[in-house]
Structure 1
Amino acid sequence: MSSTLIIACGALAREIKAVIAANGWRDVRLECLPADLHNRPDRIPDAVGEKLQRASRHQRIFVAYADCGTGGLLDEVLAEHGAERLPGAHCYDVYAGESVIAALSEQEPGTFYLTDFLVRHFDRLVIQELGIARHPELASLYFGQYRCLVYLSQRDDPALQAAARRAAAGLGLSFEYRHTGYGELATSLVRLVSEPATEGQAT
């Protein structure tokens, strides 16, 4: 198996490490970028590009991001380096599948999504980072158009479910729970690592 580098969003780190361990991959290395880049998606393409610039040309490289709000700019960076990313517009597509997210969005356009990572770090990434802790009135500005919070869980953890319910209640949103597992994250990584290296990649 060739040496593989995965450049990933920090929000996916725990799940990617679990996939690596479950498959016994010893020649796969993970490098993560800060998860809070999702609050500033315009910075994601440059941050990923810098990682790609420093990577060895003899490594197989995969970028564990979806488009993530970059409006196609991340794909432009990846094309320059011949790198591939996860499918979909965001990690919700990766976990639940694009058709499921499309159906949920059609059913209720005002839907706010959480994953295991976002539930664990809800206070820091949402309440603190968005300034709601200091200015509670901002909650209605950020979430006034939302009606429902959907928790897409990777692990069936009652404690995380309870925390997600509290988050929904705090934002005044209805709550829905869906267990997705690792979805396309696992299948994409397995496909990448299992397929033969192409010319120019390490063997």
Structure 2
Amino acid sequence: MKLDDADLTERGLEPSGHARLLILACGALAHEILAVTRANCFEHIDLQCLPAILHNHPERITPAVRDTVAEARSAGYTRILLAYADCGTGGHLQQAAAELGLEMLPGPHCYAFFEGTEGFVARAEEEFTAFYLTDFLVRQFDAFVWEPLGLDRHPELRDTYFGHYEKLVYQAQTDDPLLTLKAQDCAKRLGLAFERRQTGYGDLEKAIKEFGTGI
């Protein structure tokens, strides 16, 4: 069903000729996406996020994306950027994006976005013993890593999960000394060497700018 101007206005969308764009994203990227859209004054871009905790159950990501896209289409969105990587879906998410006509960022996971997917993938074999944290995961380390793995109750499991890792790489999207200290503490708790990389928003920022300007 095509929505008329009154329907669009009621749903918070722009009338015909000024269609709004939607970014459908992992909740772990919400802060960064909002930072980019606000910095570029992309008021015509809306953001909808799925729960970041879905990464603990990647088989649920693709069905959740399909359901949310159906709702978004019915609300009048014609262009949707899927701000996800493969994220452990084994190619199913990319296949769904192609079937649904979504624009999607390439890459294995968001760590690649921030460092630049091409370079990150090229270095993968050299860094297979690195465990990565972003700003989001540093803030949510206990909720997304420590507690789900049971390390708060069974610290002896540390070697089971992290015995093959050598270092923790903190990909810093912002320059926040407190986050850096917290990331250092995460590395200490995991018994890993610490490395900080100032990545900014990387390929994620580029994709949003291209999406927002129609390039």
Using the size of structure 2 for normalisation, the TM-score is: 0.86
Which fold has the larger relative contact order, with Cα–Cα distance below 8 Å and residues 6 or more apart in sequence?
Answer: 1
Change (3 A) 1:103 1:77: closer
**Aligned match of 1:168:** 187
| SS at structure 2 position matched to 1:192 | helix
Does the aligned pair in 1 maintain the 2:117–2:203 contact within 8 Å? no
Does the aligned pair in 2 maintain the 1:3–1:28 contact within 8 Å? yes
Using the size of structure 1 for normalisation, the TM-score is: 0.91
Shift of 1:104: 4.4
Match of 2:102 among 83, 91, 97: 83
The amino acid of 1:163's aligned partner reads: K
Say whether residues 1:45 and 2:62 are aligned partners.
yes
Say whether residues 1:73 and 2:92 are aligned partners.
yes
Separation (CA, whole Å) in 1 of partners of 2:54 and 2:201? 21
Match of 2:173 among 148, 154, 157: 154
| SS at structure 2 position matched to 1:156 | coil
Where does 1:190-201 land on structure 2 (aligned, <5 Å)?
Answer: 190-195=209-214
Does the aligned pair in 1 maintain the 2:27–2:52 contact within 8 Å? yes
Q: Which has the larger radius of gyration?
A: 2
Say whether residues 1:96 and 2:121 are aligned partners.
no
**Aligned match of 2:6:** none
Separation (CA, whole Å) in 2 of partners of 1:112 and 1:103? 17
**Aligned match of 2:52:** 35
For residues 102-146 of structure 1, give each alpha carbon's deviation from its aligned partner in whole angstroms, at most 9, with x where no partner exists: 354333321100000000000111011121111112221111111
Say whether residues 1:127 and 2:150 are aligned partners.
no
Aligned residues: 196
Task: Give the root-mean-square deviation of aligned CA atoms.
Answer: 1.4
Say whether residues 1:11 and 2:46 are aligned partners.
no
User: Gapped runs of 5+ residues in structure 2?
Assistant: 1-17
